[in-house]
Amino acid sequence: MRTAFISHPDCLLHHMGPYHPERPARLKAIEDELAASGLMDRLERHVAPLATFEQLKRVHTPKYIASLAAAAPATGFAYLDPDTAMNPYSLAAAYRAAGAVILAADLVIGEHAENAFCCVRPPGHHAERNRAMGFCLINNIAAGVAHAIRAHALERVAVVDFDVHHGNGTEDIFRNNPRVMMVSIFQHPFYPYGGVTGRSGRMVNIPLAAGSNGHAFRAAVNEFWLPALKRFKPQMLFISAGFDAHQDDDLASLNLLEADYAWVTERIREIAHEYANNRIVSALEGGYALPALGRSVAAHLKVLNEP
């Protein structure tokens, strides 16, 4: 079984203006690097379906889902917050992005793929149950987690979030769900300025100061994430794979390198091997320095795809 690579052309059509950092070229940079490194030939490509209303209302309110459809413009842009806009293609892209993670869960749980990476945008982890924000419309990873729980009856699912920003939306959706553990690391104080006071046995939020490097990141993973995950014994792991903590990324001020992304992916695979029948679904979140983004995703996928 190989690693599944799930995307859709609609994800290239959504954009938020020529100067917005969350731009279609991000996906091109990733695919170019995977092709150049030869990794793409070893992945099993899949086309993302559209998520359904029934799947999305597990994680968003029907009123919010309807409001997204109503906001979608016929031309130009509709702003949902100062950083987050829709163009005429955004709604389809968001439904494909969530549909990718749902398909990934089906492929991995059904043993058609060992693990999966969803190369999609818009990202999702800032989208709350009833609010778009931070470049995110629908919480893709949450839709996949809810699908694993509701359609496949999993009882313990872990979300691992190493994006440089706190995944406030995922926390909002799952804070009171005993079947979900979330472990995260994020720059603090920094957008969206939450996550620090909400720590619990199942919300393992680890803030890092600006300027922190891979040494601090690895120490936090070893000290906080791994013991928590071993206690929880997840049956499946979902990764909110943001690469904006890279030292080349101008949107934030952490200093991770490709080797740190490979290292943490190895640790996640070890947990998945021990408790979760190797089940991992990873989905792209942030990452805005294009060459570093391409190399970091390749490092992440190389580990996921190792026998």
Q: Does 161 bind Zn ion (CB under 5 A)?
A: no
Q: Which candidate, 302, 227, 241, 301, places its Cα nearest to that of 271?
A: 227
Determine, following the binding rule CB under 5 A, whether residue 244 of this chain makes contact with Zn ion. yes
* Count of residues that bind Zn ion according to CB under 5 A: 5
User: Can you read off the two tokens belonging to residue 68?
Assistant: 């997204």
User: Which range, of 52-60, 84-92, 196-204, 242-250, touches Zn ion by CB under 5 A?
Assistant: 242-250
**One character per residue 201-230, x = contact with Zn ion (rule: CB under 5 A):** ------------------------------
Which span sits near Zn ion by CB under 5 A: 34-42, 165-173, 203-211, 213-221?
Answer: 165-173
Nearer to Zn ion, 245 or 276 (CB): 245
Could you confirm whether 126 is annotated as catalytic? yes
Sheet of 180-187: strand order equals 44-47, 3-7, 115-118, 280-284, 236-241, 157-161, 180-187, 203-208
Residue nearest to Zn ion (CB): 286
Q: Which residues in the 263-292 window bind Zn ion by CB under 5 A?
A: 286
Q: Which residues pair with 3 in a beta bridge?
A: 115
Q: How far is the CB of 164 from Zn ion (least distance, A)?
A: 5
Q: Whose Cβ is closer to Zn ion: residue 134's or residue 214's?
A: 134
Q: Does 163 bind Zn ion (CB under 5 A)?
A: yes
- Rule CB under 5 A: say whether 22 interacts with Zn ion: no
- Return contacts of 230-234, CB within 8 angstroms, 24+ apart: 230/271, 230/274, 230/275, 232/156, 232/158, 232/181, 232/202, 233/156, 233/275, 234/156, 234/157, 234/158, 234/181, 234/271, 234/275, 234/276
Among 67, 53, 137, smallest CA distance to 102 is for 53
The minimum distance between CB 68 and Zn ion, in angstroms, equals 21
Q: For residue 276, count other CB atoms closer than 10 A to its CB.
A: 22
The reply to whether 242 sits near Zn ion by the rule CB under 5 A is yes
Q: To which residue do tokens 């290292």 refer?
A: 263
Per the residue annotation, which of 8, 14, 125, 126 is the catalytic one?
126
Binding site for Zn ion (CB under 5 A): 163, 165, 242, 244, 286
Active-site residue set: 126
